[in-house]
Amino acid sequence: MNILQINGSARTEGANSTRVASDIVARLKSTHPEALIVLRDLARDPAPVIDEGALGALFTPADQRTPEQAVRVAESDALIAEVQAADVIVIGVPMYNFGISTQLKNWIDAIARAGVTFRYTERGPEGLLKGKKVIVAFARGGRYRGTPADTQTPFLQTVFAFLGMTDVRFVYAEGLNMGDESARQGFAEAEADIAVALG
């Protein structure tokens, strides 16, 4: 089993989303000791921003790219290869202003590439990253699960399904900034979600 852990926080230390994601990976490792774990910490090693230069590189035929363009595409290729090689992808997702972090959005933009991780057919788009399990570990200061304020869950579900990843499990650690008791309850609820996600 190949496990890819994506830390989506802007924090290099002390991120609650990383804490929950790391707990999930540790549990997977305990039941699959042979598993190979690849860690991509987007705070320490950020994904490239999709800007005009990146778009120019991606839409230039490989044999016509400048050295600089080749480097830009290679950065995205490396991130895609990590996802393609993974059987299980565990993603730590903080909530920033009701959305995902810039770091995580840049990673998604880097791995979503037409002709590589999805393609358009006469019947519509087809995701090419099939047969993978995704476990999303949310960490939130407030409580938004099941409310209109939770824009993260439907967004990520849509993106991953578009790329072919339909086996997506969600773990919620909520109320972490609402006092000590609320934080304890939030982590306990996350533990229960983890048991279901790994069951």
| Number of structural domains in the chain | 1
Binding-site residue ranges: 9, 95-98
pLDDT band at 199 (very low <50, low <70, confident <90, very high): confident
As a whole-number percent, the residues of the chain with pLDDT over 70 amount to 100
Which domain does 33 fall in, by range? 2-198
| Mean pLDDT (the chain, rounded) | 98
Residues 170 and 138: beta-carbon distance below 8 Å: yes
CATH code of 29's domain: 3.40.50.360
Secondary-structure percent of the chain, ordered helix, strand, coil, rounded to 5: 45, 20, 35
The residues facing 135 across adjacent strands are: 90, 169
Report d(CA 190, CA 196) in Å as an integer: 10
pLDDT tens, residue by residue, 160-195:
999 999 999 999 999 999 999 999 999 999 999 999
* pLDDT value of position 21: 99
Give percent of the chain above pLDDT 90: 99
pLDDT at residue 47 in the model: 96
Q: What pLDDT is stored for residue 6 in this prediction?
A: 99
Predicted pLDDT at 123: 95
Contact 172, 127 (CB under 8 A): no
| The pLDDT value given to residue 99 | 98
119-133, pLDDT tens digit by residue?
A: 999 999 999 999 999
pTM: 0.95
Residue 107 has pLDDT above 90, yes or no: yes
Q: Is residue 114 predicted with pLDDT exceeding 90?
A: yes
Could you list the residues known to form a binding site for FMN, using ranges. Answer: 9, 95-98
pLDDT at 84 over 90: yes
45-71 average pLDDT score: 95
pLDDT per residue over 2-27, tens digit each?
999 999 999 999 999 999 999 999 99
* Cβ neighbours, 10 Å, residue 66: 11
Average of per-residue pLDDT across 129-151: 98
Angle at 117 between CA 112 and CA 122, to 5 degrees: 105
Closest CA to 160 of 129, 195, 190: 129
